[in-house]
A and B are shown apart, each in its own frame.
Chain A
């Protein structure tokens, strides 16, 4: 067997990577790109299973993005255009498979950047990021921490943006004074619960009951809806429930005669919910993820190429699949492309430095700050404005873009308190 010299872990792994590269010509990280060489980007998310709705539409959106970029000459590094290719890996939202997938993408496939959903799968991937120095992105900034400076949350600061919906509701409907909330008891549901509790308290809305946390394996939502309705709230909050929960919950609320206000983080495939309930029932539901044919996205501050055309193209190719993440990974790629071209390099460290060097970045919804030390121990989340979306006549429309940092300046202590109460601060992990 081979006897390795005494090396640090990172040196050991990097030497091993180099050895594999020499042996397999697998296209592993290099210091210079060959002329016209295709740049590979990793996509590590659930593509099958219960959480696939937050992975697969993102990959589909990225494939459209790549086609558009490649047709326009690709990403330009040192004056030479390079095509982009996405390499997907279905991690099934399983930590073991996520680790194997991260190794495949980074070491075997030689990708230059890996996008993840994050959550339960991130802790198993973290050693791969730490050992290889690869740049990873997550949609869930609760994954962020000072131990891994190469993990960023550049698109979605879940669940902090939920405060914008509550604040908008409180300002526009001051007669709404009470609320209840339900959520699945997991890594996505709980940070969102803490955020909504802070937002409701900040808006002066009273919580009638403790959050109703249900098991992720729940299939019968009638008792959940009944329990929430029993306290006769003005607002029912569906937190960040998966679409597999939002749909039956909405159906149950409709069937049990609820006529009050509903707020939810996501409302994926809301047309299907409308078909099962009614246009009247859905009227006024507040959530956070717009359709991209929304006229508000044509504004100059929106950093996304032709959102309406993207929406149409997506729906033509993947009818009925548009959801919260359809555009998010593509938006991350816009930022990555901007930073890579600025750095004239696709090496992870160079791109990260270019992204963050001014302390600001071009977020899809406008210029935003690299932020988060208070909550995550590191300023690796890009935070600025976020849209408040309301269903009107069966169509989701952006009512307003609201500033997350402005809310945090007023109510940040509340958020930190609730995050601490739920053991979600970075130093409590």
Chain B
């Protein structure tokens, strides 16, 4: 693709992302904020799946970042943006510790092990009311401090301001993850997934790379959790339970995980359908059923996810001319 076309595409996307909240209603802007944060969660999840491991504890890592950031800001008085970064770091470090027992397992056993590890963390939040607040969690979490840039007064109760802030953070996170995947490290992740014995024979420490993927993905999930906590002002253990994990899995499966943009498509499409379209057309209480039917329909007719639809369209020249790299 010509460079000028890429530049035009990037500028058009940037303009669209900046203008988007201004064509939405107030509540749709709220949904946009949550969707932006969730894109970071699902993309960080995909980073882990590159090594072939699927976890059921990813949203708990998001919760670790949320709790750590909330506690640092509320109890220690750490400046909120710094608390968010420290929350992400905490999630990464917790993942590093968990990797010791978890990577003694692989495949299905890793999946179950990650669920158990996540449940242990959630039980700790419930058990220790001090400092985690027990089942009620932590309330009145410090919001992002408002500030004025001259051209824009960032008042973070306003979803537009928080969307711009979250967008900046999420884009930075996505860029890092994209660079990691396109680097030699990303190639090793794929090798660990598809040819782990061959990778070992080439002197690659499979376990070290799996650990690296887990730590990185958990760090970004923790960052997403921190973004969420300081926006809604509360965290509790139920926000990071298996039901939320199923949402993340659904976004990843429906969107597809072969490409970088697959999970983003899944998250955007399902969020818009579930939170906006079905509510607007009066199917408020029928949403779980329709959501489930969409999932089943996608698995039956688009087993490689919605990204496969893009591939097919691109093949007939309607969309992008370049095939994605690194597919399953």
Contact = CB atoms under 8 A, between A and B. Distances in A.
Interface of A: 1-4, 6, 9, 12-13, 16-17, 20, 24, 26, 47-49, 56, 88-90, 93-97, 99-101, 103-104, 107-108, 120, 123-124, 126-127, 131, 185-187, 189-190, 215-217, 423, 429
A108 B288 contact: no
Give the 7 A-B CB pairs with smallest separation, nearest first: A104-B27, A123-B234, A100-B30, A4-B153, A124-B232, A186-B135, A107-B26
A255 B25 CA distance: 54
Contact of A190 (B134, B148, B151, B239): B134
A108 B26 contact: yes
Given A16-B26, A48-B288, A215-B123, 15 more contacts: A3-B151, A3-B153, A9-B155, A12-B153, A56-B285, A89-B279, A89-B284, A94-B239, A95-B236, A100-B30, A103-B27, A107-B27, A127-B233, A186-B238, A187-B136
Nearest to B284: A90
B151 to A, nearest CB: 5
Contact of A90 (B27, B242, B287): B287
Contacts of A96: 34, 228, 232, 239
A4 B287 CA distance: 38
Given A100-B275, A120-B136, A190-B136, A12 B155 contact: yes
A131 to B, nearest CB: 6
Interface string B214-257: 00000000000000100011101011011000000000000000
Contact of B241 (A103, A123, A217): A217
Contacts of A90: 279, 284-285, 287
Given A89-B284, A100-B34, A104-B26, A127 B157 contact: yes
Contacts of B159: 103
A104 B25 contact: yes
Nearest to A128: B157
Main SS at interface, chain B: helix
A26, A49, A93, A123 — which one has the most chain B CB atoms within 10 A of its CB?
A123
A101 B157 CA distance: 15
26 contacts: A2-B152, A3-B151, A3-B153, A4-B152, A13-B155, A20-B25, A26-B25, A48-B285, A56-B285, A90-B279, A94-B239, A99-B30, A100-B30, A100-B31, A100-B275, A103-B27, A104-B25, A104-B27, A120-B234, A120-B238, A124-B233, A126-B233, A185-B126, A189-B135, A190-B135, A217-B241
Nearest to A191: B136
Give the contact-size bracket for chain B. 35 or more
Contacts of A2: 152
B143 to A, nearest CB: 8
Contacts of B134: 185, 190, 423
Contacts of A126: 233
A88 B279 CA distance: 10
B41 to A, nearest CB: 12
Given A47-B284, A95-B239, A127-B233, A103 B151 contact: no
A1 B26 contact: no
Given A48-B285, A124-B233, A186-B238, A101 B27 contact: yes
A194 B303 CA distance: 51
Interface string B86-126: 00000000000000000000000000000000000001001
Contacts of B234: 95, 120, 123-124
Nearest to B139: A123
B126 to A, nearest CB: 6
Interface string B136-179: 11011001001010111101011100000000000000000000
Nearest to B136: A187
Contacts of A100: 27, 30-31, 34, 275
B27 A95 contact: no
